[in-house]
Amino acid sequence: MTKKYAMVLGIGVALVAGVGVLSLRAAEEASAASDVKKLADQVGKKDWAELSREGQTVAKRLDEQKKELLDVMTVFKPRKPAGKGGLGVGNQPGAIKPDGIEAKILNLSKRVQPADLDKAADLKRMAEISAAVAGIATHMPNEDAKKSKEATKKWQDYSKDMHDASKDLIKSLDGKNSAQIQLAAKKLQDACTACHKDFRE
């Protein structure tokens, strides 16, 4: 193979690799996960008014990027290959089961295992994600929640309930009291269920 052909082949491979990287980035950027995680970093530092104010900025940016509420809520789902699922629970996939925030909250609302207490830090991060989602979602009402001022207010109240319950779960995990953790998780699950009953599409 001549140097000329080798160079052309090398450029071709590089271009294909570059397209692959760009495609991967596009897939990663298709979700709102990075925005949710950044806001979650502020959960322990800000009250609801401050957090939801920052959430409004995030919601506006997501709207400009043609992203929807579903892109935010997807973080609650289990992880999937190529980053197309949710955030999961903990840094290591499968280390905490079930590996999905929505499923784990439901799991904790029924029973808290000794292993859960050992993973309290990861579960606290899960609750921070939940609180951050509430801070963003309150500014992204679905079509049913836009039908009237009363419906929009109810949507916002549900979002605050979700935030407050998430903060309660964080506090209970600090104390590592199984009964309190279960109670806080049930409060969060109930807040989500009530909202879904009225507004889930």
Residues 42 and 124 in one domain: yes
- The pLDDT assigned to 80 comes to 85
Confidence of residue 7 (pLDDT cuts 50, 70, 90): very low
- For 57, other C-beta atoms within 10 Å of its C-beta total 13
Per-residue confidence at 81, pLDDT binned at 50, 70, 90?
Answer: confident
Going by C-alpha positions, the residue among 89, 66, 68 that lies closest to residue 77 is: 89
Domain enclosing residue 4, as ranges: 1-30
Residues 5 and 71 in one domain: no
Helix%, strand%, coil% for the chain, nearest 5: 75, 0, 25
Same domain, 171 and 118: yes
- Report which of 2, 43, 29 is spatially closest to residue 130, judged by C-alpha positions: 43
Regarding whether 18 and 44 lie in a shared domain, the answer is no
User: If you average pLDDT over every residue of the chain, what do you get?
Assistant: 86
* Residue 47 and residue 19 share a domain: no
The predicted structure's pLDDT at residue 14: 40
Query: What is the distance between the alpha carbons of residues 49 and 22, in angstroms, rounded to a whole number?
Result: 37
What confidence score (pLDDT) does residue 201 get? 55
Residues 11 and 83 in one domain: no
CATH number at residue 67: 1.20.120.10
- Name the residue among 195, 156, 165 with its Cα closest to residue 49: 156
In the chain, how many domains are there?
Answer: 2
**For residues 125-150, average pLDDT:** 96
Q: Which is nearest to 73 in space by CA: 65, 85, 63, 82?
A: 85
Chain centre distance of CA 87: 6
pLDDT at 13: 40
Output the pTM of the full model.
0.84
The verdict on 44 and 105 lying in the same domain is yes
Same domain for 169 and 85: yes
Same domain, 151 and 78: yes
- Cα torsion through 172, 177, 180, 182, rounded to 10: 100
Residues 88, 166, single domain; the answer is yes
Q: Are 8 and 90 part of one and the same domain?
A: no
Residues 22 and 40 in one domain: no
